[in-house]
Amino acid sequence: MQMGRKQGPISMWPSGDLTIARLRGIDPWPRPTGQLLHKWQPLDQEHLGRGSAMKMLRNMLQERCEKPRENPSDFFDYVIEELKKEGTILTEAIALDLMFALLFASFETTSLSLTLAIKFLSDNPSVLKRLTEEHEAILRNREDADSGLTWKEYKSMTYTFQFINETVRLANIAPAIFRKALRDIKYKNYIIPANWAVMVCPPAIHLNPNIYEDPLVFNPSRWEGSETTNASKNFMAFGGGMRFCIGADFSKVQTAVFLHSLVTKYRREEISGGNILRTPGLQFPNGYHVKLKKKEI
């Protein structure tokens, strides 16, 4: 969190605890050797990526406007319908921004955290073993062997939830979330002036050794007995407060179902890639290629 002026004599950008925590959180210091150290790269590539994605979305929207479909069936159709309404607050620019945000929010997030989950499984055989045991027990205890995964079974996946929490804690898919101070906010001895933007940096919390012991170590068991399922001041992988990620529960179900299939039906073999890069978002620059082989039952 970046802090505003101090009460009394004005001092801008004080080097208070939180600012230091933020810097340490992004690039942990002192750097433990042999642990999850990720490379950094300037933001330019992400900006280029956004430019091309926006261009593609703009072209798609234009094409669809020129040839509207009779029955609206996807998000584009509904956006076009809304754009045509009289007095709508939606503009083409807002619509494109929302589409871009949704593309990132719904697809990039879960796919990246799943990729990281597979990487963690490959690197941590004992975790894979425990996860597999949990899911094989679900199959063993199933009354109807042919039924699909049930909600009750999903809710029973204790270790899987610990695994998911630990994956998103280290993934830090959103390296920063933003808020705007609507009025002067007093925080300890500081005032965040009205209209200032506040950048909250979840990695500063998630990688803080005072909060998580050996923060760079992937250890799902650290969540044992923890009630944290959504958000707290120590866990913000899905944000927090009123703008808390609307897809958090959906993405957990998606991840759990994926893991269930993966560990009960397939064996994996790493082929190539798997290097982790932060720009500052999580990336796999050379991809991560694994070969799946059906398990013999």
Return residues touching ligand HEM (CB under 6 A): 105-106, 109-110, 113, 168, 173-174, 177, 237-241, 243-247, 250-251
Q: In terms of CB distance, is 191 or 200 closer to ligand HEM?
A: 200
DSSP 223-282: GTT---SS-BTTB-TT--GGG--TTHHHHHHHHHHHHHHHHHHEEEEEEEE---EESSSE
Q: What are phi and psi of 121, to 5 degrees?
A: -65, -40
Q: In terms of CB distance, is 129 or 243 closer to ligand HEM?
A: 243
Q: How far is the CB of 36 from ligand HEM (least distance, A)?
A: 17
Q: How far is the CB of 252 from ligand HEM (least distance, A)?
A: 8
What is the DSSP pairing of strand 277-278 with strand 39-40? parallel
Q: In terms of CB distance, is 93 or 271 closer to ligand HEM?
A: 93
Q: In terms of CB distance, is 109 or 279 closer to ligand HEM?
A: 109
DSSP 72-104: --SHHHHHHHHHHSTT-S--HHHHHHHHHHHHI
Q: In terms of CB distance, is 29 or 178 closer to ligand HEM?
A: 178
Alpha-carbon distance of 282 to 160, in angstroms, equals 22
Q: How far is the CB of 287 from ligand HEM (least distance, A)?
A: 19
Q: How far is the CB of 97 from ligand HEM (least distance, A)?
A: 12
Q: In terms of CB distance, is 84 or 180 closer to ligand HEM?
A: 180
Alpha-carbon distance of 118 to 163, in angstroms, equals 11
Q: In terms of CB distance, is 11 or 230 closer to ligand HEM?
A: 230
Residue 223 CA, chain-centre distance (Å), reads 18
Most distant CA pair in the chain, distance? 72
Q: How far is the CB of 106 from ligand HEM (least distance, A)?
A: 3
- β-sheet with 39-40: strand ranges across: 39-40, 277-278, 282-283
Q: How far is the CB of 256 from ligand HEM (least distance, A)?
A: 12
Q: How far is the CB of 286 from ligand HEM (least distance, A)?
A: 22
Alpha-carbon distance of 82 to 98, in angstroms, equals 13
Record the tokens describing residue 141, joined without a space.
């205890």
